[in-house]
């Protein structure tokens, strides 16, 4: 079931991201410094037009998520696209991206962007398959995992 994230989902979201990061050596979950938006996910993306959505599994646990905000007028940005390993290859990520894109269009966005860790090659293939263009440059983050990210863009 696709629904808006609630602040009570925080623990499930931390667990989801920890499971996803476990697939990549050197990726760590630091809820205090790197993931502050997950402490209160509903509040963190509560501004007008923004959103944070989850898909629950059959047991009511968060199995996938995505968030959306607007770094500048007309430009929407995807965040926190994660799918639990046991739920992958079912179209959940594409469903979440489509939901976020529709929501962004409805709120006046004409373009979408996403940043993805350079190690997340499966996510890169998904973005390209969904019509996003990958930029050549990578930005470095000052996080516990020493992440570098590629930018992906799509006109809406």
pLDDT band for position 32 (50/70/90)? Answer: low
Average pLDDT, the chain: 93
- Would you say residue 122 lies in a domain? no
pLDDT at 17: 93
Token readout for 122 is 């499966």
pLDDT at 12: 95
pLDDT at 46: 87
- Would you say residue 11 lies in a domain? yes
- Would you say residue 43 lies in a domain? yes
pLDDT at 146: 85
Q: How many CB atoms lie within 10 A of CB 12?
A: 22
- Would you say residue 115 lies in a domain? no
Element (H, E) at 127: helix 121-129
Range of the domain at 56: 2-110
pLDDT in tens, 59-93: 999 999 999 999 999 999 999 999 999 999 999 99
CATH number at residue 88: 3.40.630.30
pLDDT in tens, 126-143: 999 999 999 988 999 888
Q: Which residue has the higher pLDDT, 152 or 30?
A: 152
- Would you say residue 151 lies in a domain? no
* Domain total of the chain: 1
Question: Are 5 and 65 spatial neighbours (Cβ–Cβ below 8 Å)?
Answer: yes
- Would you say residue 141 lies in a domain? no
- Would you say residue 100 lies in a domain? yes
- Would you say residue 97 lies in a domain? yes
pTM: 0.93
Residue 28: is its pLDDT beyond 70?
yes
């Amino acid at each position: 079931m696709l629904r808006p994230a609630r602040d009570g989902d925080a623990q499930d979201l931390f667990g989801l991201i920890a499971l996803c990061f476990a697939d990549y050596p050197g990726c760590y979950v630091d809820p205090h410094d790197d993931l502050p938006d997950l402490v209160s996910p509903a509040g963190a993306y509560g501004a007008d037009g923004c959103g944070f959505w989850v898909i629950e599994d059959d047991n009511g646990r968060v199995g996938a998520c995505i968030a959306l905000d607007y770094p500048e007028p007309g430009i929407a940005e995807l965040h926190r696209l994660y799918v639990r390993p046991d739920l992958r290859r079912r179209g959940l990520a594409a469903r979440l991206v489509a939901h976020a894109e529709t929501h962004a269009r409805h709120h006046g966005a004409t373009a979408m962007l996403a940043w993805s860790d350079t190690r997340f090659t499966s996510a890169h293939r998904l973005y390209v398959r969904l019509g996003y263009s990958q930029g050549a440059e990578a930005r470095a983050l000052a996080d516990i995992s020493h992440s570098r990210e590629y930018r992906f863009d799509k006109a809406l």
